[in-house]
């Protein structure tokens, strides 16, 4: 169940595309997996996901041969433990602003002695069948990614990336725009400059540079790749549905 394929890929700086699910139904996973995304994120911070949806989310992602990741609802022990126990192979932790906060997320995600994760039988280790194997590999194989979504985090990017156990970062463009006082202006030069600083720091410290491009188009995806981002989440189930529906109606109105 747990292997190093995803983590090796991101740590090697390979370009990889995934997407984001806000609706906690496995059908959305199947649809996005069919489209070809390599990994999918369950959004427990802003999406309609309960803990009880996460097992089925991970099941559906694995059945489709893709990688299940969870954006936990907050930087705390239990949401991180639940996501991993239910089968996530990586966690994305929102609103991390300092090295201290990174250390807290890392501790929650790692078994002792590196962290405080509790030992048990759970879906992640095949309900105990693969207990020993899972415990042996988990600290290495599970990706810990923190979200950079504020001016403070951008200012602290060096200490954030130098914290033990963090694999990389993910830009949250909307929170970032709010923090810079330009709510929703995700393409504003101030945000681009902040993203560039983050990408350069990731390169310096050999960490994964990720970004969520909520409303993807060829320009913003191309620009993120050129800046050095290689872990790219494109869109979300809700955005794809809304855009597809709107396009169909516009087509009829233009006829």
Residues that bind Mg ion (CB under 5 A): 149, 172, 175
Our finding on whether 237 is near ligand 3PY (CB under 6 A) is: no
Beta-carbon contacts of 78 under 8 Å, excluding residues fewer than 6 positions away, are none
Q: Which stretch binds ligand 3PY (CB under 6 A): 106-114, 129-137, 138-146, 172-180?
A: 172-180
Catalytic choice (25, 46, 212, 230): 46
**149 or 167: CB nearest Mg ion:** 149
CB of 212 to ligand 3PY, least distance (A): 4
Question: How does 171-192 read in b/e, with b if 16+ C-beta sit within 10 Å?
Answer: bbbbbbbbbbeeeebbeeeebe
How many Å is the Cα radius of gyration of the chain? 18
Give the position of tokens 């099941």.
Answer: 59
Q: Which residue, 156 or 186, has its beta carbon nearer to ligand 3PY?
A: 186
Site string for ligand 3PY, 140-159 (x = CB under 6 A): ---------x----------
Please tell me the distance from the alpha carbon of residue 239 to that of residue 21, in angstroms, as a whole number: 10
Between residues 174 and 205, which has the closer beta carbon with respect to ligand 3PY? 174
Q: Smallest distance, Å, CB 22 to ligand 3PY?
A: 9
Separation CA 161–CA 247 (nearest Å): 41
**Closer residue to ligand 3PY (CB): 17 or 174:** 174
Instruction: Determine, following the binding rule CB under 6 A, whether residue 239 of this chain makes contact with ligand 3PY.
Output: no
Q: Does 214 bind ligand 3PY (CB under 6 A)?
A: yes
Residue 123: C-alpha distances to residues 51, 72, 78, 172 (Å): 13, 17, 16, 29
Q: For residue 213, what are the CA distances in angstroms to 99, 116, 167, 197, 205?
A: 25, 32, 20, 17, 23
Is 66:39 a contact under the CB 8 Å cutoff? yes
* Residue 205 binds ligand 3PY, judged by CB under 6 A: no
Active site residue 122: no
Given the rule CB under 6 A, which residues bind ligand 3PY?
Answer: 149, 172-175, 212, 214
Catalytic residue numbers, as ranges:
46
């Amino acid at each position: 169940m747990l292997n190093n394929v995803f983590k090796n890929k991101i740590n090697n700086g390979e370009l990889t595309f995934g997407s984001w699910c806000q609706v906690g139904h496995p059908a959305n996973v199947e649809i996005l997996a069919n489209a070809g995304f390599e990994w999918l994120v369950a959004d427990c911070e802003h999406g309609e996901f309960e803990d009880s949806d996460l097992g089925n989310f991970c099941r559906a992602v694995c059945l489709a041969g893709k990688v299940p990741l969870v954006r936990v609802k907050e930087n705390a022990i239990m949401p991180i433990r639940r996501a991993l126990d239910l089968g996530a192979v990586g966690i994305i932790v929102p609103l991390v602003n300092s090295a201290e906060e990174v250390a807290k997320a890392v501790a929650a995600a790692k078994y002792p002695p590196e962290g405080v994760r509790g030992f048990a039988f759970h879906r992640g280790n095949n309900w105990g069948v693969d207990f020993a194997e899972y415990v042996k590999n988990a600290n290495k194989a599970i990706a810990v990614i923190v979200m950079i979504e504020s001016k403070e985090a951008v200012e602290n990017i060096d200490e954030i990336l130098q914290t033990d156990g963090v694999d990389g970062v993910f830009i949250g463009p909307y929170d970032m725009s709010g923090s810079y006082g330009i709510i929703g202006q995700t393409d504003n030069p101030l945000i681009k400059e902040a993203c560039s600083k983050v990408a350069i720091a990731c390169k310096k410290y050999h960490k994964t540079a990720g970004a969520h491009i909520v409303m993807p188009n060829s320009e913003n995806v191309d620009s993120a790749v050129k800046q050095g981002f290689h872990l790219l989440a494109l869109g979300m189930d809700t955005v794809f549905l809304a855009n597809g529906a709107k396009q169909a109606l516009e087509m009829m109105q233009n006829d």
